[in-house]
Chain A
Amino acid sequence: MKNIKKALFLAVLGAGLMAPVQAEEVHMIMCGGEIRDADKAVIAAFEASHAGVTVNAEAVPWGTCQDKSMTLAAAGDPVGLAYIGSRTLKQLGRSGLILPVEISEEKQALYQPGILNTVSDGGQFWGFPHAFSTKALFINCGLVEEAGEACVAPRTWTGLYNMAKAVNDNTSAAGIGITGKDFDNTMHQFLNYLYSNGGSVSDAATGEITFNSPETVETLEFYGKLAGVAQEGPMGYERSQLTQLYNDGQIGMYINGPWGAGQHNDNIAEIVVPIPAGPSGESGTLLITDSVAVFKGSANEALAMELADALTSGEAQYDLDMSWGLTPILQYDKMRDDVYYTTDYWQTFVAPIGSGGPEPMFEDFKALQMGINSAIQGMILGEGSAADLVAEAAETLAEGL
């Protein structure tokens, strides 16, 4: 009996001593459907350096990921951290569902111009930027030459339209691929044209909606004109489906990110050029980032914050950008001598960073998407003048600001 008591005492004592190193789990959601090797390496190192801590990294496809993260938080069961689109940060931050993050001045100085604007609201940062993209125009030279045109970069919208029309009229392919589906990248495609025509969605300083402008009307009209030489039924397509059409030789050109080259068939002779300038602007691009946000109220906020910082720092971030084929989010040339983005191909994506426009931050970011997409679809369907459709969209945007 005495031995049993002794054993029980030791067991209780042992349990007490073990408590501080009891297993802690950090739940992480990774939008995109996969966890990249570069992130896996950081997670493994993090677990190794924190005894008793495990990271439950869950990969969720984009279509449902952000909603899942937000719904879990709304239901009072937040994840520790999540890799999500930066456009959601304003809504999450203002709803008190995520924590503001501290980004060291040293790290801030490394970011490419404009990146931190995509995660800032009310003077605070609401996530660590983790993936960045700019866009360019991919042209299938085989089809352009088959149409009797020289495969050179169009500099203006007129040149772009003429080239697309030539492909459309003289080959079995459509001139250009454009998106029109109820999807975020329909809005993104449009914003590439808008920023190449001197337009904007909102004033970053005052928050005022600036969407209803002659530049936007002009851009929408051009998008509608492009629909005439685009693939049949643009409203059935989002960007990844355009990649399929491009690989199948069914469209002459389309806009995509730097990962595009890796997705395209090797037998396509292509050139990658800056997005042509509209009549009222200069060649531009949309700057999109995805970020790692730390949710408020999870069991391990401090650990989640530490992991988020580690995932988005220095060499780990470089490995991710290089292996994934992303536009460099940090100015790596300040960190190291050899960088992956020195080729002409990469310069097409790096050069416009300074003149690019951000993905606007709206409190109701779904209203932003629905408002702009509705105007695009209305234009393609011919359901009103560009001016009316833009005015209608601007009203929707004002509600969602």
Chain B
Amino acid sequence: MSDLLQMLKPKTKAQSTTLFAWALIAPAAIYMFLIVVWPLVETFRLSFTNSNLGTLIEGADYIGWANYEKALGGRKFPAIVNRTFYWMFLSVSLKIILGLIGATLLASNIRARGIIRALVMPPWIIPIAIGCFGWLWLYNGHFGLLSNFAEMVGITDGPFSFLGYKKSAFYSAVVTDVWIGTPMVTLFFLAAMQGVPRDLYEAAYVDGASRWYRFRRITMPQIMPTVVTMALLSAIWTFNSFEIIWILTEGGPRGATTTLIIDTFKTAIFSYKFGAGATRAVLVVLILGVFSIIYLTVLGRLSRKYGYLGVQK
């Protein structure tokens, strides 16, 4: 024992420093292992089993790639993947566009700016479930505000149940997701805009640059790192967005709002097919991983070529 301790004892100052660094990192590393790595490995293991409610007592059997073959070979799976990407693309695009518009307005020198900035926050601050229940009422065909308003101004000739049809249910869910997600994007963009040096604008102004030109050539390139980061984070969050869809539609009608994460929940928790559900969770991780790599690679190349998008060096 004492020999072992002697062996482990640092012999040089550099070794001692390294050991100390590892000791400092260890608690966080162990914590990360327990809450990230271990569940991930366990999910991966589970995805190769037939684990379900019926196997809890006797234990699940290893079934190889069967879950993957069934998931990838299912006739609904390609449609779910396509829908998930469309949902993500649409929602993130709207959040980025609205976030940019909102941040630009909030950064401008308007009256009661502080109050207006505070008013942007509620959709993000209030619990998602409460916000969604509010939208649930708004979308109701007979008692909902939106339906009644549309009828009152003559857009519709009777009640319209926004969540009762495939397309309207999907776009209604997108609207709610955008409503919840935009404030955070706006605030991040606003913070980035406030960090842009004022003298750049002043110089451009002296040179006769228009507002649009200053926005395109100064603001956008300066805040582009934030836009890129927010777009990626927002894409991942939207891809995995669960509560909004579940509360509004539970993935219906007839699967019209079933995204990969809803499908995973329905399989693993709703139907108690833990193995098949774990397979879908692994596929989500793989798809998001590949998407992130492609996204960052493409943006990296564009940045190297053009500086930040749109500004030719």
Q: Which residues of A does B touch, CB under 8 Å?
A: 67, 70-71, 74, 91-92, 94-97, 180-182, 231-237, 244-245, 248, 250, 363-364, 366-367, 373-374, 377-378, 381, 383
Contacts and interface: CB of A to CB of B under 8 A. Distances in A.
B164 A234 contact: yes
B166 interface: yes
B305 interface: no
B271 A236 contact: no
A1 to B, nearest CB: 43
B142 A182 contact: no
Nearest to B158: A232
Nearest to A364: B271
What are the 6 closest A-B residue pairs judged by CB atoms, nearest first? A233-B161, A233-B164, A236-B164, A236-B161, A182-B252, A235-B253
A377 B253 contact: yes
Contacts, number: 93
Given A181-B252, A182-B253, A233-B141, A96 B57 contact: yes
Given A70-B272, A74-B53, A381 B253 contact: yes
Summarize B's interface: helix, strand, loop or mixed: loop
B88 interface: no
Interface string B232-266: 00000000000000000111111100000000000
B165 A378 contact: no
Nearest to B139: A236
Contact of B251 (A94, A182, A364, A367): A182
B270 interface: yes
Contact of B53 (A97, A181, A232, A245): A97
A381 B166 contact: yes
8 contacts: A74-B53, A92-B53, A96-B57, A181-B252, A182-B249, A232-B161, A366-B271, A374-B255
Contacts of B139: 236
A181 B161 CA distance: 12
A245 B161 CA distance: 13
Nearest to B144: A236
B53 A233 contact: no
B144 to A, nearest CB: 9
Say what secondary structure dominates the interface of chain A.
helix
B203 interface: no
B167 to A, nearest CB: 11
Given A236-B140, A378-B254, 20 more contacts: A67-B269, A74-B272, A95-B56, A96-B54, A97-B57, A180-B164, A182-B250, A182-B251, A231-B141, A232-B142, A232-B159, A233-B141, A235-B252, A235-B253, A236-B139, A236-B141, A236-B161, A250-B142, A367-B271, A381-B253
Nearest to A378: B254
Contact of A377 (B56, B142, B162, B254): B254
B39 to A, nearest CB: 15
A95 B164 contact: no
B143 interface: yes
A56 B162 CA distance: 42
B178 interface: no
A180 B142 CA distance: 15
B135 interface: no
- Of A231, A232, A245, A378, most B-chain CB atoms within 10 Å: A232
A378 B272 CA distance: 25
Contacts of B158: 232
B141 A381 contact: no
A235 B161 contact: yes
Contact of B164 (A67, A235, A373, A378): A235
A286 to B, nearest CB: 22
A248 B142 contact: yes
A236 B135 CA distance: 13
Nearest to A232: B159
Contacts of B54: 91, 94-96, 363
Interface centre among A74, A91, A233, A366 (most CB of B within 10 A): A233
A169 B156 CA distance: 18
Contacts of A231: 141-142, 159
Nearest to B57: A96
Please indicate which of the listed interface residues B54, B252, B272 has the most CB atoms of chain A within 10 Å of its own CB: B252
Contacts of A95: 53-54, 56-57
A359 B272 CA distance: 20
A367 B270 CA distance: 10
A232 B163 contact: no
A231 to B, nearest CB: 7
Contacts of A244: 143
A244 B141 CA distance: 12
B48 interface: no
A74 B272 CA distance: 9
Contacts of B254: 235, 374, 377-378, 381, 383
B160 interface: yes
A286 B102 CA distance: 54
A67 B250 CA distance: 15
A71 B158 CA distance: 43
A309 B161 CA distance: 45
Contacts of B140: 236
Nearest to A245: B142
B53 A70 contact: yes
Contacts of B141: 231-233, 236
Contacts of A71: 269
Nearest to A234: B164
A182 B164 CA distance: 11
Interface in B127-168: 139-143, 158-166
Contacts of A377: 252-254
Nearest to B56: A74
A18 B159 CA distance: 67
Contacts of A70: 53, 272
Interface string B198-234: 0000000000000000000000000000000000000
A235 B143 contact: no
B194 to A, nearest CB: 43
Contacts of A74: 53, 56, 272
A223 to B, nearest CB: 14
A367 B304 CA distance: 52
